[in-house]
């Protein structure tokens, strides 16, 4: 593919993403009742960037925004539950201090001054606090996979909450007619992100994937249909950038290892994507969450 053609693909994909974001912001701003906005979705869907961009649009429209991350309500790491693989399970609602979270959410919704915790993932403990001071016409913006969990939603007022869900919506057909599923798009993003930005090996990410999917099936996907706005974060150009990196990351996995047959099949399906440069991807693109 010629570079100019690829750049046009990037520009068009980014435009479609921004159109969706503007549509969501317009619906929120048009409402006279919404006070709480949640941005949720499964892992590696682009929640962080989308939340920040949405916040900026609401602020530009003249509304103060207070951003809350569910990550700050994790319990100390040494008290967290384990998943079926014996690893610390950050995805379950039981990993959150639900009593504190519920109390904070109730105060936020009532528009009362609230002290919220901050969490340090390096130490696995709380590291401070932040204060919410209510302002006229402000929005409370909640970000995280947990926003869809029943244990969380019961604290949010149905008529005053706008629920956004973001994720790649559909399976993708490769240039040679094979299929990469929407869930696999997120796996590819996570493999690259975890290696380059979190120091987690591809082998470890793959070993955790079954538990990640089980949590999504139990706690996220059953409630997606209830969202007020569903945003598609897939970008048509991304596999041309990420597939070559995946081929490198997975090339040295032990052939006798568990799941290698799946990895081999995935690499075959990705083989049709030629390597294209990432220098044309905007610095504030949602795709930068995964490739840096």
Residue 276 lies in a domain: yes
Res. 257 pLDDT band, cuts 50 70 90: low
Q: pLDDT at position 171, please? A: 97
Question: What distance in Å separates the CA atoms of residue 142 and residue 41, rounded to the nearest whole number?
Answer: 12
Residue 119 lies in a domain: no
pLDDT in tens, 81-118: 887 778 888 888 889 999 999 999 999 989 999 999 99
Residue 189 lies in a domain: yes
Q: pLDDT at position 282, please? A: 97
Residues 5-22, mean pLDDT to the nearest whole number: 98
Domain span including residue 250: 172-227+235-285
pTM: 0.91
Residue 262 lies in a domain: yes
Q: pLDDT at position 92, please? A: 85
pLDDT in tens, 37-95: 999 999 999 999 999 999 999 999 999 999 999 999 999 988 988 877 788 888 888 89
With 90 as the cut, is the pLDDT of residue 170 above it? Answer: yes
Residue 11 lies in a domain: no
Residue 272 lies in a domain: yes
Residue 73 lies in a domain: no
Average pLDDT, the chain: 93
Question: What distance in Å separates the CA atoms of residue 90 and residue 223, rounded to the nearest whole number?
Answer: 20
Residue 14 lies in a domain: no
Q: Number of folded domains in the chain?
A: 1
Query: 58 is written with which tokens?
Result: 């609401």
Under a CB-based contact definition with an 8 Å cutoff, are residues 253 and 292 in contact?
no
């Amino acid at each position: 593919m010629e570079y100019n053609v690829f750049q046009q693909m990037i520009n068009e994909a980014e435009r479609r993403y921004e159109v969706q974001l503007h549509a969501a912001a317009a619906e929120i701003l048009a409402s006279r009742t919404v006070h709480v906005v949640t941005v949720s979705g499964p892992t590696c869907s682009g929640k962080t960037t989308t939340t920040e961009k949405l916040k900026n649009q609401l602020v530009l429209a003249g509304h103060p925004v207070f951003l809350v991350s569910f990550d700050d309500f994790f319990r100390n790491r040494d008290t967290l539950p384990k998943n079926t693989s014996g690893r610390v399970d950050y995805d379950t609602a039981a990993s959150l201090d639900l009593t504190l979270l519920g109390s904070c959410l109730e105060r936020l919704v009532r528009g009362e001054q609230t002290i919220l915790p901050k969490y340090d993932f390096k130490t696995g403990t709380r590291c401070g606090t932040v204060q919410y001071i209510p302002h006229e016409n402000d929005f409370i913006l909640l970000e995280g996979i947990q926003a869809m969990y029943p244990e969380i939603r019961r604290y949010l007022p149905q008529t005053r909450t706008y629920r956004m869900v973001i994720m790649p919506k559909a399976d993708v057909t490769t240039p040679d007619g094979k299929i990469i599923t929407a869930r696999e798009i997120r796996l590819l993003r996570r493999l690259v992100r975890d290696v380059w930005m979190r120091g987690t090996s591809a082998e470890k990410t793959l070993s955790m994937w079954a538990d990640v999917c089980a949590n999504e099936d139990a706690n996220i996907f059953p409630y997606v249909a209830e969202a007020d706005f569903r945003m598609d974060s897939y970008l048509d150009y991304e596999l041309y950038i990420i597939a070559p990196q995946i081929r490198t990351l997975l090339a040295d996995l032990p052939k006798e290892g568990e799941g290698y047959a799946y990895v081999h099949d995935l690499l075959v399906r990705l083989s049709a994507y030629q390597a294209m440069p990432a220098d044309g991807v905007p610095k504030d693109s949602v795709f930068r969450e995964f490739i840096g």
